[in-house]
């Protein structure tokens, strides 16, 4: 897969699932940006998918 395709896939996931995410919004209000970010990258299944795609990008350099 080309880098542009991988980036588009990340953008699509983010636009579809992350923008407007209730959990992320609540965590940011209650605990701050850092906690919300940590949840997204460590516990959210969409975050896991984005990390996997990102590792493909990193490996293709």
At 19, is the pLDDT very low, low, confident or very high (cuts 50, 70, 90)? very high
Residues 39 and 23 sit within 8 Å (Cβ to Cβ) = yes
Sign of the Cα torsion 36, 27, 9, 51 reads positive
Quote the pLDDT of residue 22: 96
* Residue 59 pLDDT greater than 90, yes or no: no
* Residue 7 pLDDT greater than 80, yes or no: yes
Q: Does an H or E element contain 56, and which?
A: helix 45-59
Whole-prediction pTM value? 0.79
Q: How far apart are the first and last CA of the chain?
A: 13
Quote the pLDDT of residue 58: 84
Per-residue pLDDT tens digits for 34-55: 999 999 999 999 999 999 999 9
At 61, is the pLDDT very low, low, confident or very high (cuts 50, 70, 90)? low
């Amino acid at each position: 897969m080309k880098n542009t395709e991988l980036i588009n896939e990340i953008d699509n996931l983010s636009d579809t699932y992350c923008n407007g995410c209730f959990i992320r919004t609540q965590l940011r209000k209650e605990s701050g940006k850092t906690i919300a970010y940590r949840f997204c990258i460590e516990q959210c299944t969409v975050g896991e998918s984005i990390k996997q795609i990102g590792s493909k990008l990193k490996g293709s350099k």
